[in-house]
Amino acid sequence: MRFGIDRLLEDATLRAPLEGRRVALLAHPASVTAEGVHSLDALAALDDIYLSAAFGPQHGLRGDKQDNMVESPNFRDPVHGIPVYSLYGAVRRPTPAMMDDFDVLLVDLQDLGCRIYTFITTLRYVLEEAARHGKAVWVLDRPNPVGRPVEGSILKPGWESFVGAGPLPMRHGLTLGELGHWFVTRLGLEVDYRVVAMTGWAPERAPGYGWPLGVRAWINPSPNAPNLWMARCYAGTVMLEGTTLSEGRGTTRPLEGFGAPDLDAERLVATMRGLAPEWLRGCRLRTCWFEPTFHKHVGRLCAGVQIQVEDAAYDHAAFRPWRLQALAFKALRKLDPDYPLWRDFPYEYEYGRLAIDLINGGEDLRLWVDDAAAEPGDLETWAGPDEAAWLAEREAVLLYR
């Protein structure tokens, strides 16, 4: 299979519309060619591309910023001599001065297939600014590494944020190129938008189910996205960022499970199985111990649960990480109704709302967890219709069938 960047590099006819125009690149460390060359270097080496600027999203063009709300500065690239603008620093939207530096913006970002991932919001912002300033945006498409499954409630009106770019479910099942088409249509943008599509992407093919295992190397799109297994769990484990439970940051397996010093992991898993065993299908839960070297519970021994999705227990169609993690919260509430679960802190530049609500695009999940009378079936009554509605809505923008 070929990613969008590879097709653009190999086919001069695809590049022909760029001739005589100033080209900028929005990229990060995972923006590499099939040969492992960074897209910035590969494009700069072409005689028919005039590279005038570059942009970096959250964590930076180099991916060197570890945590949320750790900003990257603007700088001048020491090799190519072009300005590199941060879209996660003093601003999160490109300014008019930044927009003046290019005619066409190439977007080459590896997404994780989850609404919370801020590269989606950055794509929306650059599309909106391109429409205002008469610029073109091309997405050099890459796989959604978790494939086509859809899960989670749709973000509610008024809950838009940097971790919620629009009314999407937690797992949207689209590529970044397809998401761009959805934004253009949904927002009514008048913008020159194109996708350099992949060839050979087969999101239902084992063993990768979205990611070409054995064909392309995994490169962290952000510091705590070290492998495909994390990506599969992320639509659930990202909710841990809004809790006092550790999501494994500061360990070698971040966002593949959870834990805390005061957790009874065995009882918790047993309670989860008693409440909704069907929500645990498609994976293996392993109780474990870990000690974070930074972040929550640093230096303390935590009892935890690892969500294993890399062996024969993995069932791509059955695995539902959002429900699994929600069930863990519900089981913890059942075991200890007064557990201080929700973390109240500034989250992605939002100061007046709980992080767990921003992550979920509304209050419904938190209220369901905290309601002692609420059952798993109650969650299905509002999440299920959202998922069905999204499956129908996304049909119009699917590029790979």
pTM value is 0.95
Contact (Cβ atoms closer than 8 angstroms) between residue 32 and residue 101? no
Compute the mean pLDDT over every residue in the chain, rounded to the nearest whole number: 95
Asked if 398 and 150 touch (Cβ cutoff 8 Å), the reply is no
Q: Give per-residue pLDDT as tens, 63-80.
A: 565 555 566 788 899 999
Dihedral sign from CA coordinates of 242, 246, 252, 254: negative
pLDDT at residue number 335: 98
DSSP bridge pairs for 193: 137
Q: What is the pLDDT of residue 116?
A: 95
Determine the 3-state secondary structure of 54 from DSSP: strand
Report CA-CA distances (Å) from 56 to 93, 135, 181, 259, 337. 11, 18, 21, 32, 43
- What CA–CA distance (Å, rounded) separates 333 from 341? 8
Domains observed in the chain: 4-222+392-397 (3.40.50.12170), 228-370 (3.90.1150.140)
* pLDDT averaged over 10-residue windows placed end to end, the chain, 401 residues: 98 97 97 97 97 92 61 85 92 96 98 96 98 98 98 97 96 98 98 98 96 96 95 98 97 97 98 98 98 96 98 97 98 98 88 94 98 97 98 98 89
